[in-house]
Chains A and B, each alone.
Chain A
Amino acid sequence: MSLPHSLEEELPTVNDSFLRFGASHGILSAEKALVHVPSVIDASTKDEADLGVSPKGASRTLSNFESKCLRWMNGVELLDDALRNKRFLPTGCEGIDTLLGGGLREGQLTEIVGPSSSGKTQFCLYVASNVAVKLCGSIVFLDTSNSFSPTRIASIVNQICGPAVKEGQERRIKNIMSSIHCQSVFDIFSLQDALHELDNTLNMQTIREGTKICMLVVDSVSSLITPILGSKSSQGRSLMVSVGYLMKQLADEWNLSVLVTNHMVSGGGTSKPALGESWKCIPHVRLQLSRCPGSSICNVSVLKHTSMACNRSVDFEIPN
Chain B
Amino acid sequence: MENPRAWLLVNETAKAMFGRMEKERPSLVFPPLNHFSIRAGDVVEITGPSPSAKSEILLQAAIHCILPWEWNGICFRGLEMVVAYIDLDCRFDVLRLAQVLKLRIMSAYGSTHGTCRDSDKVSPRNSFMDSQADHLDHELFLSCMKRFLYIRCYNSSEFLAALKTVHHGSTSSREGLGVSLYVLIIDSIGAFHWNHRACQPLTKDGNTWEKLSLEKLTENVVQEIKNIQDVQPLIVLASKATIFGSATPTIHAHRGHSEGLKNKNKDVGNNFSYREYMSPLWQSLVTKKAFVGISDVVSSDGRNGEFPTYVCEWIKPHEDHLYKFVVRNNGICMVS
- Give bound CA distance, A234 to B198, whole Å: 5
B158 at the interface (CB under 8 A from A): yes
Q: From residue B126, how far is it (CB to closest CB) to chain A in Å?
A: 9
**C-beta contact mask, B146-185 vs A, less than 8 Å → 1, else 0?**
1111111011011011101100110010000000000000
B contact residues around A76 at 8 Å (CB):
142, 145-146
A contact residues around B192 at 8 Å (CB):
241
A contact residues around B149 at 8 Å (CB):
72-75
Chain B contact residues, majority secondary structure: mixed
Q: CB-nearest residue of chain A relative to B90?
A: A248
A contact residues around B146 at 8 Å (CB):
74-76
The size bracket of the interface on B is 35 or more
Which of A175-183, A204-212, A276-284 lies on the face that meets chain B? Answer: A276-284
Q: CB-nearest residue of chain B relative to A40?
A: B209
Question: Do A74 and B145 form a contact, CB below 8 Å, given A32-B157, A277-B242, A306-B91?
Answer: yes
B51 near A31 (CB under 8 angstroms)? Answer: no
B contact residues around A74 at 8 Å (CB):
145-150
A310 near B308 (CB under 8 angstroms)? Answer: yes
- Give bound CA distance, A88 to B145, whole Å: 23
A281 near B188 (CB under 8 angstroms)? Answer: yes
Q: From residue B166, how far is it (CB to closest CB) to chain A in Å?
A: 9
Q: CB-nearest residue of chain B relative to A268?
A: B247
- Give bound CA distance, A81 to B94, whole Å: 9
**C-beta contact mask, B297-336 vs A, less than 8 Å → 1, else 0?**
0000000011110000000000000000001110000000
B contact residues around A310 at 8 Å (CB):
51, 308
B123 at the interface (CB under 8 A from A): yes
B49 at the interface (CB under 8 A from A): yes
A31 near B242 (CB under 8 angstroms)? Answer: no
Q: From residue A277, how far is it (CB to closest CB) to chain B in Å?
A: 5
Q: CB-nearest residue of chain B relative to A242?
A: B195
Which of B16-24, B95-103, B251-259 lies on the face that meets chain A? Answer: B95-103
A241 near B194 (CB under 8 angstroms)? Answer: yes
B245 at the interface (CB under 8 A from A): yes
A309 near B49 (CB under 8 angstroms)? Answer: no
A233 at the interface (CB under 8 A from B): yes
Q: From residue A175, how far is it (CB to closest CB) to chain B in Å?
A: 31
Q: From residue B174, how far is it (CB to closest CB) to chain A in Å?
A: 14
A315 at the interface (CB under 8 A from B): no
- Give bound CA distance, A150 to B165, whole Å: 49
B243 at the interface (CB under 8 A from A): yes
- Give bound CA distance, A29 to B160, whole Å: 13
A34 at the interface (CB under 8 A from B): yes
Which of A63-71, A160-168, A290-298 lies on the face that meets chain B? Answer: A63-71
B contact residues around A249 at 8 Å (CB):
90, 154
A contact residues around B286 at 8 Å (CB):
none
A78 at the interface (CB under 8 A from B): yes
A75 near B93 (CB under 8 angstroms)? Answer: no
Question: Do A306 and B93 form a contact, CB below 8 Å, given A70-B151, A71-B151?
Answer: yes
A contact residues around B92 at 8 Å (CB):
306
CB interface residues, B 124-151, toward A, < 8 Å = 124-125, 142, 144-151
- Give bound CA distance, A101 to B306, whole Å: 18
Q: CB-nearest residue of chain B relative to A33?
A: B161
Question: Do A75 and B194 form a contact, CB below 8 Å, given A32-B157, A278-B243?
Answer: no
- Give bound CA distance, A1 to B157, whole Å: 11
Question: Do A1 and B191 form a contact, CB below 8 Å, given A277-B243, A284-B93?
Answer: no
Q: CB-nearest residue of chain A relative to B248?
A: A277
- Give bound CA distance, A284 to B96, whole Å: 12
Question: Do A245 and B194 form a contact, CB below 8 Å, given A79-B98, A307-B124, A310-B308?
Answer: no
B195 near A241 (CB under 8 angstroms)? Answer: yes
Contacts A281-B91, A309-B307 supplied; 13 other A-B pairs, CB < 8 Å: A26-B210, A67-B168, A72-B150, A73-B150, A82-B95, A88-B125, A101-B125, A237-B194, A238-B194, A281-B191, A281-B243, A306-B91, A309-B329
27 A-B contacts (beta carbon < 8 Å): A25-B207, A29-B157, A31-B160, A34-B165, A35-B209, A67-B172, A71-B152, A73-B149, A74-B147, A74-B149, A75-B94, A75-B145, A78-B145, A237-B197, A238-B194, A241-B194, A241-B195, A245-B90, A277-B243, A277-B244, A278-B194, A281-B188, A284-B93, A306-B55, A309-B305, A311-B308, A312-B305
A-B CB proximity, top 7 nearest: A75-B145, A238-B198, A31-B161, A75-B148, A306-B93, A307-B96, A234-B197
Interface residues of B (CB under 8 A from A): 49-51, 55, 66, 84, 89-99, 123-125, 142, 144-152, 154-155, 157-158, 160-162, 164-165, 168-169, 172, 188, 191-192, 194-195, 197-199, 207, 209-210, 241-245, 305-308, 327-329
